[in-house]
Amino acid sequence: MTFWVVYKSDGSSDYTVTEKDCLEVIANMNREFNRFNVFFKYRGVNYLYDDRNYYLDGTCELDNNGDPKCPDNDGDGDCSEIFDMRNFANEQGNFDPNSLNTYVYYDSCGFSGFYSGGSPRNIYVRSLRFNDYHTVHELGHMFGLAHTWSGAEVYDPEDPNQTCEHVTRDENDPQYNADVEGDDVTDTAAMPRFSKEQGDINYVDPNTCTYEGEGKDCQNNDFQIPPNSKGTLNFMNDGSECPTTSYSSTNDDEGFTEQQGFKMRLKIEDFPNRFGPAEEASFEALYEPYKGEYYSVGPPARVKPHFQPGFSYLFVECDGNYSQPAPFNQGFYVNTNNRLLKIDKYIEPLFYNTIVHPNHSAIIIKEVDEAFQYTKAQKCYDNNNRSPTSGSVMKFNDNVFNTNVTVTPKDSTQINNPDLIPALPSGLYKIDKTYEDGSNDETVIFKENK
């Protein structure tokens, strides 16, 4: 996934999107999609400068007074600029042909984002919804999902020809049609569009996400909409009705349903050239840093190899004299009981810079191992070309980053002792190494002893 941020032509902007923001979104994508064996690799963020696509007018509809529902903020006289943005994104240099692409613009009227089949590898999200779940919502559209309220109609007793998704989920009921109407997903409830325009009839309590409306399907049956992924807490709703819905929750009963996940997998498998190969070899990219470089010999690398958040990482002891990481799938000695660093998939953005591959360790990604149903350490980095002259071990006594620490200086022999980390008790540490050229190397580890 590559991100593209649209600022004004003069470089100014009323919003800011940083690399850390994009890393947070890619982490959210993986947290939601990994359980369906769908994985995203962060490919970077780029900036585009264009007044026309900074703010998008989204509809040509008129209100009850005959005035445009959407103001012409950029003064170009164009009241529907979705296709202008799509064409702009398709211009050479404004997309990565080897990646999915997410475009972030300042704001829009009439919608919070969109997916267009004319650009099947691109999604578009306004800045105010970039860091909430709407980016995942648009990916749902990319992977073949419709809105949960698709085809909903307000019950009209004078119209006997109404068609809609019926409430019943009893396959033996003559009214059952969940497999062919609405969103074509049977484990989501039949539901209306939760919007302010529909008033109390389709009201959802924003605090509890409980449907409290009195709406009916077109067969005059009361909606039965639970406060979970099958109802108000599904990512394919509109989103404005329940602001507590976000991917900050660890609750698997929010977001996508199992059948939605199955449907998305089928879409991805049907279009391998669009979405990327599904074979194991393609997962090598997840074991490669998104920025930085590994030290080999000579002066130290200016930026250490950093890995994207959103996965459960274990960096475990390995041995093989690899001055650069071992080739993918190559075997080497590994001690999975000696964990040099553990990273939780819900790590806070403040600590993204701690996801660094320590020397003398290999990488385990829990979510990938679960997808292939085995545990395999990859990319042993065991560089012995550079030895520190001194250093220190800082222990965070509360096992969180704060000022309650104990610092133990280490001389040349102690800091180079191969048993330094294995001998440490469980806890959170920072290992500081000083070299002859005056440079320093800091490594944060979370030590677990079994």
pLDDT by residue for the chain (450 residues), tens digit each?
A: 999 999 999 999 999 999 999 999 999 999 999 999 999 999 999 999 998 899 887 666 667 777 766 766 666 666 657 888 888 999 999 999 889 999 999 988 778 889 988 788 999 999 988 987 889 999 999 999 999 988 877 667 677 777 889 999 999 999 999 999 989 999 999 998 886 555 556 778 877 888 888 888 888 899 999 988 898 889 998 755 564 444 444 556 788 999 999 999 999 999 988 887 655 558 899 999 999 999 888 777 678 899 999 999 999 999 998 999 999 999 999 999 999 899 999 999 999 999 999 889 999 999 999 998 989 999 999 988 878 889 999 999 999 999 999 999 999 999 988 889 888 999 999 999 988 666 678 888 888 766
pLDDT at position 268 is 92
Q: How far apart are CA 353 and CA 341, in angstroms?
A: 13
Cβ atoms within 10 Å of 198's Cβ, excluding its own: 15
Q: How far apart are CA 203 and CA 208, in angstroms?
A: 12
Q: What is the reported pTM?
A: 0.85
Q: How far apart are CA 147 and CA 370, in angstroms?
A: 30
Half-sphere exposure of 66 (CA within 13 A, CB side): 0
Q: Which helix (H) or strand (E) holds 270?
A: helix 258-270
Decide: 383 and 296 in contact? Cβ < 8 Å: yes
Residues 91-136: pLDDT tens digits? 999 999 889 999 999 988 778 889 988 788 999 999 988 987 889 9
Half-sphere exposure of 87 (CA within 13 A, CB side): 6
| Structure-block tokens of residue 68 | 């445009």
* Pair type for strands 378-381 and 113-115: unpaired
Residues of 319-331 as b/e, b for ≥16 C-beta within 10 angstroms?
ebebeebbeeeee
Decide: 189 and 231 in contact? Cβ < 8 Å: yes
Decide: 425 and 450 in contact? Cβ < 8 Å: no
- Give the three-class secondary structure for 434: strand
CA nearest neighbour of 329 among 292, 291, 380: 380
Tokens 């998104």 locate to 290
CA nearest neighbour of 427 among 410, 405, 411, 408: 405
